[in-house]
């Protein structure tokens, strides 16, 4: 559409915006199980809105002009680092999301491998389980590294022996997920990071979803296998505040065991007429709202606030899990550790079930290989468990043929 000749009045404008928005996912009604991580608490939402309002116009590109933003970023990195036991020699930066944190980690490891091991970037490869987030394949693509996805085991965890076989002299990074997006299961981070350590290769523990879950589960007494910088082989961790840290979108942290490596992340440039230009991540101009929101929500909730939310969230997750397991045709895939689970069936077509759930307004994501339905559970879902399970039981009892992908998007 062309730019309108004349501006609209405000009422008409927002009437149109609301109309357009009406077809979007009804996440406020607990219908969405990925993309958004609502606490369901008005007080938390108010904090996020006020922080975003206060920093609507500022630009995080320049922390000298906006020192409050620079300091908030340092605080967020430090608070996050403390949660995952970053050593004092370590450091990190914020990024716009998990994918950018991962891109920065792959970049740093590619360039570190060139500097320290003489591996030409064009010859480098990264080794990861097929359950790794797509951001690793994307980073390999952008940075022209060979991607080596390694098939996972029947329990959906990384296959350590197969990963060991795939590593060679040109491997610049090995990774595992703690925990992974597709099934919510923990990879054997200790064994995988040891593989990398023994060979002098970087190891990325991807805790984009786990960083604001696992530290709290540990404190609540859950038995959590090691996954963070307490393992000597872990060199990088990605930690998204905009997932279970409950910040609004645009807030992730990339941490390095050695703060000296952050230099490899920076782009610094002086050969243009506008003086020194430097950025730690891909973006130039950067929104300030996500930084203010992340800092504010972390300080508003504090350790006890996160623990309280986590206690409730695990109780809600158990209700979903018990309800799904009570449906004879369904089974949970693998052993999910936190508030993320996927279920499948050996008897019925779960995509056909998902079609009926779509009709009732529930947005589940479809897993492949094998087919399954994916749920990231948030505190808001507490109010909707029973309603969901009633509809799921109905959908399992009444499903027909799966309508196929065209029907879903037309
Ligand atoms: C384990 C894991 N890593 C990375 C990402 C990518 O994060 P983002 O979508 O913020 O780029 C996700 C997103 O869900 C994830 O679950």
Q: Give the model's pLDDT for residue 403.
A: 86
* pLDDT of 16 above 90: yes
CA nearest to 261, candidates 143, 117, 90, 121: 90
CA nearest to 155, candidates 190, 179, 136, 138: 179
CA distances from 213 to 89, 277, 281, 332 (A): 24, 36, 25, 20
pLDDT class of 404 with cuts at 50, 70, 90: confident
5 CA to centre of ligand 1 in angstroms: 41
Query: pLDDT exceeding 70 applies to what percent of the chain?
Result: 99
209 CA to centre of ligand 1 in angstroms: 7
97 close to ligand 1 (CB < 6 Angstrom): yes
Report which of residues 123 and 407 the model is more confident about: 123
Please give the number of the atom of ligand 1 that sits closest to the Cα of 179: 1
275 CA to centre of ligand 1 in angstroms: 35
Ligand 1 atom 9: residue of nearest CA: 98
Please give the number of the atom of ligand 1 that sits closest to the Cα of 180: 1
Q: Span 218-228, mean pLDDT? A: 98
135 close to ligand 1 (CB < 6 Angstrom): yes
Q: How far apart are CA 160 and CA 202, in angstroms?
A: 16
> For the domain 49-297, what is the CATH code?
3.40.640.10
CA nearest to 38, candidates 344, 377, 354: 377
CA dihedral 72, 74, 78, 79 (to 10 degrees): 10
Specify the residue for token string 């905009």. Answer: 242
Q: Give the model's pLDDT for residue 230.
A: 98
Top-tier CATH class for 26-40+302-397? alpha beta
Specify the residue for token string 């050695």. Answer: 258
Q: Which residues contact 153 (CB under 8 A, 6 or more apart)?
A: 159
Ligand 1 atom 2: residue of nearest CA: 208
Buried b (16+ CB within 10 A) or exposed e, 339-355: bbbbbbbeeeebbbbbb
CA nearest to 206, candidates 98, 281, 64, 324: 98
Q: How far apart are CA 114 and CA 9, in angstroms?
A: 57
9 CA to centre of ligand 1 in angstroms: 39
Q: Span 158-184, mean pLDDT? A: 98
Please give the number of the atom of ligand 1 that sits closest to the Cα of 240: 10
The pLDDT tens digits for 333-375 are 999 999 999 999 999 999 999 999 999 999 999 999 999 999 9
281 CA to centre of ligand 1 in angstroms: 17
Domain-wise residue ranges, the chain:
26-40+302-397, 49-297
Q: Span 125-145, mean pLDDT? A: 98
Q: Give the model's pLDDT for residue 400.
A: 87
Report whether 332 contacts 398 (CB < 8 A): no
Please give the number of the atom of ligand 1 that sits closest to the Cα of 101: 11
Ligand 1 atom 14: residue of nearest CA: 181
Q: How far apart are CA 32 and CA 363, in angstroms?
A: 5
Q: Mutate which of 210, 240, 250 to test ligand 1's pocket (most atoms within 8 Å of Cβ)?
A: 240
Q: Nearest-5° angle of CA 234, CA 238, CA 244?
A: 125
Please give the number of the atom of ligand 1 that sits closest to the Cα of 243: 10
98 CA to centre of ligand 1 in angstroms: 5
Q: Mutate which of 35, 178, 209 to test ligand 1's pocket (most atoms within 8 Å of Cβ)?
A: 209
Q: How far apart are CA 245 and CA 332, in angstroms?
A: 26
129 CA to centre of ligand 1 in angstroms: 15
Ligand 1 atom 8: residue of nearest CA: 98
Ligand 1 atom 4: residue of nearest CA: 98
176 close to ligand 1 (CB < 6 Angstrom): no
Supply the mean pLDDT for the chain.
Answer: 97
133 CA to centre of ligand 1 in angstroms: 6
* pLDDT of 408 above 80: no
Q: Which residues contact 122 (CB under 8 A, 6 or more apart)?
A: 144
The pLDDT tens digits for 262-306 are 999 999 999 999 999 999 999 999 999 999 999 999 999 999 999
167 CA to centre of ligand 1 in angstroms: 24
pLDDT class of 405 with cuts at 50, 70, 90: confident
User: C-alpha 152: how far from its chain's center?
Assistant: 20
177 close to ligand 1 (CB < 6 Angstrom): yes
Please give the number of the atom of ligand 1 that sits closest to the Cα of 97: 10
Q: Give the model's pLDDT for residue 11.
A: 98
Please give the number of the atom of ligand 1 that sits closest to the Cα of 34: 14
Q: Span 241-270, mean pLDDT? A: 98
40 CA to centre of ligand 1 in angstroms: 22
User: Residue 394 is encoded by which pair of tokens?
Assistant: 């109905």
Report whether 188 contacts 160 (CB < 8 A): yes
Q: Span 37-59, mean pLDDT? A: 98
User: Residue 196 is encoded by which pair of tokens?
Assistant: 């990398």
pLDDT class of 409 with cuts at 50, 70, 90: low
User: C-alpha 262: how far from its chain's center?
Assistant: 21
User: Residue 332 is encoded by which pair of tokens?
Assistant: 């949970």
* pLDDT of 410 above 70: no
């Amino acid at each position: 559409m062309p730019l309108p000749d004349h501006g609209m009045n405000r009422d008409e404008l927002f009437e149109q915006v609301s109309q357009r928005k009406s077809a979007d996912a009804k996440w406020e009604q607990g219908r969405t199980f990925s993309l958004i991580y609502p606490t369901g608490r008005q007080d938390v939402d108010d904090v996020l809105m006020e922080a975003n309002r206060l920093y609507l116009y500022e630009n995080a590109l320049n922390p000298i002009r906006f020192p409050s933003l620079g300091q908030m970023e340092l605080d967020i990195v430090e608070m996050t680092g403390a949660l995952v036991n970053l050593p004092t020699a370590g450091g990190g930066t914020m990024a716009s999301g998990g994918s950018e944190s991962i891109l920065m980690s792959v970049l740093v490891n590619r360039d570190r491998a060139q500097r320290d091991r003489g591996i030409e970037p064009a010859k480098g490869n990264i080794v990861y389980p097929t359950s790794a987030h797509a951001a690793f394949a994307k980073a390999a693509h952008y940075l022209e590294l060979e991607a080596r996805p390694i098939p996972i085991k029947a329990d959906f965890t990384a296959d350590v022996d197969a990963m060991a076989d795939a590593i060679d002299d040109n491997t610049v990074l090995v990774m595992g997920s703690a925990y992974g997006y597709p099934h919510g299961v923990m990879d054997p981070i200790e064994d995988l990071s040891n593989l990398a350590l023994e060979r002098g290769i970087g190891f990325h523990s991807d805790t984009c979803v786990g960083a604001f879950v696992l530290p709290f589960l540990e404190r609540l007494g859950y038995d959590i296998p090691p996954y963070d910088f307490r393992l000597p082989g872990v060199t990088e961790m990605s930690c998204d505040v905009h997932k279970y840290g409950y910040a609004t979108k645009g807030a992730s942290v990339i941490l390095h065991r050695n703060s000296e490596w952050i230099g490899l992340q920076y782009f610094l440039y002086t050969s243009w007429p506008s003086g020194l230009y430097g950025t730690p991540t891909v973006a130039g101009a950067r929104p300030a709202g996500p930084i203010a929101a992340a800092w504010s929500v972390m300080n508003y909730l504090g350790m006890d606030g996160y623990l309280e939310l986590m206690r409730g969230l695990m109780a809600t997750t158990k209700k979903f899990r018990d309800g799904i397991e009570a449906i004879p045709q369904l089974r949970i895939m693998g052993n999910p550790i936190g508030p993320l689970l996927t279920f499948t069936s050996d008897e019925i077509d779960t995509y056909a079930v998902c079609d009926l759930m779509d009709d009732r307004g529930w947005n589940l994501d479809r897993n492949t290989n094998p087919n399954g339905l994916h749920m990231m559970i948030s505190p808001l879902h507490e109010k909707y468990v029973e309603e969901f399970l009633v509809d799921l039981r109905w959908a399992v009892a009444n499903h027909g043929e799966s309508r196929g992908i065209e029907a879903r998007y037309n």
